[in-house]
A and B are shown apart, each in its own frame.
Chain A
């Protein structure tokens, strides 16, 4: 059965009635966004895998209690945010991007490399992605979290504020400062 035209909320209701295929469709629809959010916030693939599993286990477990009062993605990324915070508070073994200390200068240099020139295009593309992750890693944790929730989770400022338990103005400031930081690096190495 195909679920291409069905909303996330409808798929959740189907799964809550025991339709496993609906959950699989939902998972595949949001897998990469969730993964990127977790991986770029945690800075560690193993931690991201662990958190990814926990998040989707929680989604499956709480499906019968899910009420579509808000968008599914808001609910999903709120769970992901909470798992991430729990992970940080539990002082698990992970590589925090705050403590890694990526070098901004080479990252931005890779971002400005033209991938369409020559046989190194594929390598450049991979490098650009890596540079992006490094650039995001340069951001303070709160700013990075807010930025990733918006660009990966497609959450509004209000939704981010609610998910991170912050005020609207604080969230808005975090988003602005996050983008300002990234823009500075881009302009500097463009």
Chain B
């Protein structure tokens, strides 16, 4: 071995000599090697092509799913909205048709003057409740359509004579030993107003009246089921009349729905609206007013569900802090957690999971 490495020129000579001799080298790899290598490569190429196609198709599927994730909820929402609109609009069409008949117009116009002369609750709500026989009052109201229409007037504002007020059909069944109340709170008068309108419609025996009566009967049945029979007569009546009034305000004909007095449904609506818009102040005000945070709208959606659907993270947190149930599904069976996942709201989904959502 040389002690002194060769220079560049010598390297070139050696390399040139090597390459010249290599070009003359007839030795080659065996044909079987070439065959094996190319066959193996072709086999792998097929699998690579399959993988590329699979990746491309999965990308396309993912892209399609990303683009259409909102379509299903949108379709369901549209159908639900159409159904709700149908439910609300159809009875109103029937009712307006009913009001257009001569009989209805006559009865209503005839009842107006009498309504003003009919007894109203006393001005002081602190007056003690006294029980009076109710048996004669109810048949009288049922027998006279004019008398039944009386509560449609704004009774709370009217001066209160000492004559006993007629008992409402809602109050009568639960009143023990045939007793009823001689004093009704303004809310009770509202209930009577709604109930009275229903009874008037019943006396007209028109299709719209039947629908309205069914609603009133259903409300009564709910009240009966919810109110324990062991309640005292006054408390039970007040609670029942309050609930009846609120339902009547939303279900009854436009005549009674125009009552300006705030109802519990307004407070719940405020809660839902605040949850939808993320108005934390209004939300906290509603919660402070002891509104049921788990109240559902016509589609069975709670305020938490509405806040989730609209991506209102702060509202979701406030509702969860105040006891909103994270597992209450809507009428479609969709839970808030599912809604958060569908709406691509990972932070809300995490908050719901922390609160125990499944």
> Quick one: given A35-B29, A133-B25, A179-B6, are A15 and B18 in contact (CB under 8 Å)?
no
**B48→A128 contact, CB < 8 A:** no
**B14→A182 contact, CB < 8 A:** yes
Q: Digit string of B43-54 for contact with A (CB within 8 Å is 1, else 0)? A: 011111111100
Q: List, in ascending order, chain B residues with CB within 8 A of A111's CB.
A: 17, 21
- How far is A130 from B27 in the complex, measured between Cα atoms in Å? 10
- Per a CB cutoff under 8 Å, which of A39, A56, A183 touches B41? A56
Q: List, in ascending order, chain B residues with CB within 8 A of A186's CB.
A: 13-14, 17
- How far is A49 from B37 in the complex, measured between Cα atoms in Å? 11
Question: Is B42 positioned at the interface, with any CB of A under 8 Å from its CB?
Answer: yes
Interface centre among B19, B44, B46 (most CB of A within 10 A): B44
| Dominant secondary structure at the A interface | helix
Q: List, in ascending order, chain A residues with CB within 8 A of B11's CB.
A: 179
**Residue in B closest to A16 when the chains form the complex, CB atoms:** B48
| Dominant secondary structure at the B interface | helix
Chain B min CB distance to A103 (Å): 17
> Quick one: given A31-B34, A32-B28, A183-B10, are A23 and B41 in contact (CB under 8 Å)?
yes
**B48→A15 contact, CB < 8 A:** yes
- How far is A52 from B268 in the complex, measured between Cα atoms in Å? 80
Interface residues on A, range: 35 or more
- How far is A185 from B13 in the complex, measured between Cα atoms in Å? 13
Q: List, in ascending order, chain A residues with CB within 8 A of B47's CB.
A: 18
Question: Is A184 positioned at the interface, with any CB of B under 8 Å from its CB?
Answer: yes
> Quick one: given A18-B52, A60-B40, A132-B22, are A23 and B2 in contact (CB under 8 Å)?
no
Question: Is A170 positioned at the interface, with any CB of B under 8 Å from its CB?
Answer: no
Interface residues on B, range: 35 or more
**B14→A53 contact, CB < 8 A:** no
8 Å CB interface, A106-143 against B:
111, 115, 125-126, 128-133, 136
Question: Is A61 positioned at the interface, with any CB of B under 8 Å from its CB?
Answer: yes
- How far is A161 from B11 in the complex, measured between Cα atoms in Å? 19
Q: List, in ascending order, chain B residues with CB within 8 A of A56's CB.
A: 37, 40-41
**B24→A180 contact, CB < 8 A:** no
> Quick one: given A32-B28, A128-B21, A133-B25, are A180 and B34 in contact (CB under 8 Å)?
no
Could you list which residues of chain B lie within 8 angstroms of chain A, going by C-beta atoms? 1-2, 4-6, 10-11, 13-15, 17-22, 24-30, 32-34, 36-38, 40-42, 44-52
**8 contacting pairs across A/B (C-beta < 8 A):** A18-B51, A27-B37, A60-B37, A128-B21, A130-B25, A132-B17, A151-B18, A180-B10
